[in-house]
């Protein structure tokens, strides 16, 4: 299986990214990224998948099951926490945008059909995690305990200031001991240009995924729009090159009867967490809130 999917390798005539579980070689987790031109309309049939509708750039209207949600978006993923919506399986979803937008649909194959739901930006908690050069922002819009209105789907956003490390210490969500939760995970990367706001293929970062037995051992350069698939094993760090802040959308789902994002550190590196107690937080975090950029 090819775990690193560079920008353009998952696109088709309609979608910027079209990734179904079968494309990844697994069962539950998928991702679509759509671009709507100004004044355009797209109708999406969810089939056996539930999904979040998450604006990446621009704003849009979501109509589903006689509900209508106006999602105030953002200039880019580096400028603001955004409104979002949850849409159920077996639904016809109409997406429209007055000024045009780019929107992500993280999704999960599921069994239970729930009702559509609106998620306001001002209800999304922003967490600052780590310390020192491992300080990063975690935007917990679609995680258990914050957003419980989903059957299988988990999702969150991270922003890593340029030069910092995130997804560290390396950790895993798989069925091997001592982990209790199994999840298939997608990383969808956006990399800002020198202005810290505008996504661009100029900048870059690094990502590592590996297993104890060496069957997976990948260190890759990631650029704006790339996707990385994690079927199992430890993942991390993600490193933002100096000058180029890194964003990624995490999408997780698995066979468990209840949603969870529990993880296990690589025991060789978990000591790093204790070292953060003596380090200052990077003052660049948090980067964004529902009101916009913090600094």
Over residues 148-153, the mean pLDDT reads: 98
CA-based torsion, 90, 98, 202, 54: positive or negative: negative
Res 179: pLDDT: 79
Phi-psi region of 287 (alpha: psi -120 to 50; beta: other; left: phi over 0): alpha
Q: Which residues contact 289 (CB under 8 A, 6 or more apart)?
A: 80, 81, 126
Q: What is the pLDDT of residues 94-133, one digit of tens each?
A: 999 999 999 999 999 999 999 999 999 999 999 999 999 9
Distance CA 172, CA 182 (A): 9
Q: How far apart are the C-alpha atoms of 77 and 196, rounded to whole Å? A: 10
Q: Give the span between the Cα atoms of 220 and 80, in whole angstroms.
A: 28
Whether pTM > 0.95 for this model: the answer is yes
Q: Residue 39 above 80 pLDDT?
A: yes
The CA distance from 97 to 103, in Å, is 10
Over range 6-23, report the average pLDDT.
96
Contact 116, 64 (CB under 8 A): yes
Pairing of strands 29-36, 17-19: antiparallel
For 157-185, what is the mean pLDDT?
A: 92
pLDDT at position 183:
96
Per-residue pLDDT at 207 exceeds 70: yes
Instruction: State residue 177's pLDDT score.
Output: 72
Contact 193, 245 (CB under 8 A): no
**Residue range 245-287, pLDDT digits in tens:** 999 999 999 999 899 999 999 999 999 999 999 999 999 999 9
Is pLDDT larger for residue 13 or for residue 228? Answer: 228
Residue 175: the pLDDT is 75
* CA–CA separation, 154 and 173 (whole Å): 13
- Which domains occur in the chain, in start order? 4-287 (2.60.120.10)
Percentages (nearest 5) of helix, strand, coil residues in the chain: 5, 45, 50
Distances (CA, A) of 226 to 119, 162, 221, 279, 287: 26, 17, 10, 32, 22
Residue pair 231/184 in contact (Cβ under 8 Å)? The answer is yes
Across the chain, mean pLDDT equals 96
Q: What is the pLDDT of residue 1?
A: 67
Strand partners, 172: 264
Would the pLDDT of 54 be above 80? yes
Does residue 13 carry a pLDDT above 70? yes
% of the chain exceeding 90 in pLDDT: 95
pLDDT band, very low/low/confident/very high, at 181 (cuts 50, 70, 90): confident
Find out whether the peptide bond into 178 is cis, omega within 30 degrees of 0.
yes
Q: 177 Cβ partners below 8 Å, 6+ apart?
A: none
Q: How confident is the model at residue 42 (pLDDT cuts 50, 70, 90)?
A: very high
The DSSP letter of residue 275 is H
pLDDT tens by residue, 215-255: 999 999 999 999 999 999 999 999 999 999 999 999 999 99
Q: Enumerate the H helices of the chain as residue ranges.
A: 21-24, 272-275
Average pLDDT over residues 189-213: 97
State the pLDDT at residue 209. Answer: 98
């Amino acid at each position: 299986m090819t775990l690193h999917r560079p920008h353009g390798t998952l696109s088709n005539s309609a979608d910027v990214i079209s990734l179904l579980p079968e494309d990844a070689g697994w069962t539950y987790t998928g991702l679509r990224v759509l671009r709507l031109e100004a004044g355009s309309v797209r109708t999406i049939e969810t089939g056996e998948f539930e999904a979040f509708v998450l604006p990446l750039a621009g704003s849009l209207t979501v109509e589903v099951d006689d509900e209508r949600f106006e999602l105030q978006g953002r200039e880019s993923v580096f400028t603001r926490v955004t409104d979002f919506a949850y849409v159920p399986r077996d639904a016809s979803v109409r997406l429209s945008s007055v000024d045009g937008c780019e929107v992500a649909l993280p999704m999960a194959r599921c069994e239970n059909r729930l009702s559509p739901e609106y998620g306001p930006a001002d209800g999304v908690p922003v967490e600052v995690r780590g310390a020192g050069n491992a300080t990063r922002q975690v935007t917990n819009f679609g995680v258990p305990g914050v957003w419980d209105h989903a059957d299988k789907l988990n999702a969150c956003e991270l922003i890593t200031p340029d030069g910092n490390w995130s997804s560290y210490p390396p950790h895993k969500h798989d069925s091997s001991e001592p982990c209790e939760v199994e999840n298939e995970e997608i990383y969808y990367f956006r990399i800002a240009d020198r202005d810290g706001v505008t996504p661009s293929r100029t900048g870059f970062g690094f990502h590592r995924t590996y297993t104890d037995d060496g069957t997976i051992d990948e260190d890759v350069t990631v650029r704006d729009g790339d996707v990385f698939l994690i079927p199992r094993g430890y993942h991390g760090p993600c490193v933002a090159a100096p000058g180029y802040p890194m964003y990624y959308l995490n999408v997780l789902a698995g066979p468990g009867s209840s949603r969870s994002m529990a993880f296990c550190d690589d025991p060789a590196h978990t000591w790093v967490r204790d070292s953060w107690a003596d380090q200052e937080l990077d003052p660049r975090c948090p980067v964004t809130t529902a009101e916009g950029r913090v600094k």
